[in-house]
Amino acid sequence: MKVLHVITGLEVGGAEQQLRLMLRRLPARCEVVTLTGPGPVADGIRADGIPVTHLGMTGNRDLRALPRLTRLIRDGGYDLVHTHLYRACVYGRIAARLAGVRAVVATEHSLGDAVIEGRRLTRGVRLLYRATERLGSATVAVSDTVAARLRRWGVPEQRIHVVPNGIEAHRFRHDPLVRSGVRSRLGIPVDAFVVGGVGRLVPAKRFDVLVRAVTRLSGVHLLLAGEGPELETLRRTAEQFGSANRIHLLGALGPDKLLDVPGLLAALDVFVAPSQDEAFGLAVLEALAAGLHVLYGSCPAIDELPADQTPGARRISPVVHEVTTALREVRRGGAERLPVPPVVRRYDIARSAESLMSVYEAAVAAAPDRRAARPQAARAAAPASESPAAHTPGPEPAPPQVSLPEPARSPAPSQGGHSLSKR
């Protein structure tokens, strides 16, 4: 089976890293198209021997990307197109149908109750998503929580499949030598109590709460990894409370950066993920695989399981006082490394890849071969002047159902197991 993965971008992020992990395990001939900036994950995928094409899209409303993507898909002779992240799902589904591909699968990596990919959900975003979702064969949800959200949006149950994210647990196994090396490199005492977090620095992640909580704890260090628009605000907060020497804003992680994720986790005593609106909670799983105590606001990956599957994980609200109190309690308890909990084995990447391949096979088997003729549904969704074989690049008007509203920025919220089956 020949599969094309279409993703919005390949900068460092959970969905992007998950794609790379999955590509290593899928028993299919895969290629990748990124609509926007390739980034370090693209370099990693290429290093794994998988072709990556950069489409050069300049924004949500760059409609010139549609005929380019359509031609690329048609010329590639793919059996299935798999789209990832909002913009790629919208454009990729339309282009795949115009190109006559037999089956189109989309994965919802980052669909929250109020945000999608860190941005506030609007009525226009929902309407556009539903209009293009109808062009697909199957929609993959990374958790039962996301599957329920899709059903509330009106996605038919028979098209929803739950395939959880997966991890390579052995990569996060605790190594005391790595721990001491990372602390030495960052100038952190070997006996210091160290808190950590990973994610995009956006309001919805509530890292502002974590920074303020750590400023109240004498001698405690925070290692916060990620990039985003909140970076300077968090830096100013640390300075305002006289804690800049204890709040370490590390930027992006990766093999070519100061640290990678396993190295960061090795240096910590407790991991904190304050966000209350998550689709899965991959970072929490990775922290549990490292034997860490975990405080989290939302993690469908473990909230959907019995409590005995995740000893060492505690749910908290993103309120400064509550986070501060929880950190004090972990510190008083000694914060010894914990055994890796059963939940980690449940989310092995090999199991997720096997399940996703089953979705592919079912989608291809159920779909007619559309390559001989353009489907009427896709023709109706295309710009009237679209003729991919003879298209001259330039601005094109979009039909009503593919007008691309820019998702609004998310405001800061108030303080306040493998299903592997069709849902």
pLDDT of residue 63: 87
H or E element in which residue 123 lies: helix 123-133
Residue 17 identity: Q
> Residue 100 maps to which CATH number?
3.40.50.2000
Flag whether pLDDT at 399 surpasses 80.
no
Q: Is the model more confident about 258 or about 141?
A: 141
* pLDDT bucket at 170, cuts 50 / 70 / 90: very high
Q: Which of 293, 317, 346 is the last residue of a domain?
A: 346
Burial zone of 308 (CB within 10 Å; 0-12 exposed, 13-18 middle, 19+ buried)? exposed
Q: What percent of the chain has pLDDT over 90?
A: 60
Flag whether pLDDT at 388 surpasses 70.
no
Average pLDDT for the chain: 85
pLDDT of residue 335: 82
List, for residues 71-89, the tens digit of each pLDDT value.
Answer: 999 999 999 999 999 889 9
Q: How far is residue 128's CA from residue 153's CA, in Å, rounded to a whole number? A: 11
Residue 381 identity: A
Domain that includes residue 268, residue range? 169-346
List, for residues 343-364, the tens digit of each pLDDT value.
Answer: 898 899 999 999 999 999 999 9
Alpha-carbon Rg for the chain, nearest whole angstrom, is 22
Q: Which of 295, 315, 346 is the last residue of a domain?
A: 346
Q: Is the model more confident about 421 or about 13?
A: 13
* pLDDT bucket at 100, cuts 50 / 70 / 90: very high
Are residues 129 and 77 part of one domain? yes
List, for residues 10-53, the tens digit of each pLDDT value.
Answer: 887 788 989 999 999 999 999 999 999 888 889 999 999 999 99
Q: Which two tokens stand for residue 87?
A: 């913009």
Are residues 222 and 330 part of one domain? yes
pTM: 0.80
Are residues 213 and 154 part of one domain? no
DSSP-derived letter for residue 297 is S
Backbone angles phi, psi at 188, to 5 degrees: -105, 130
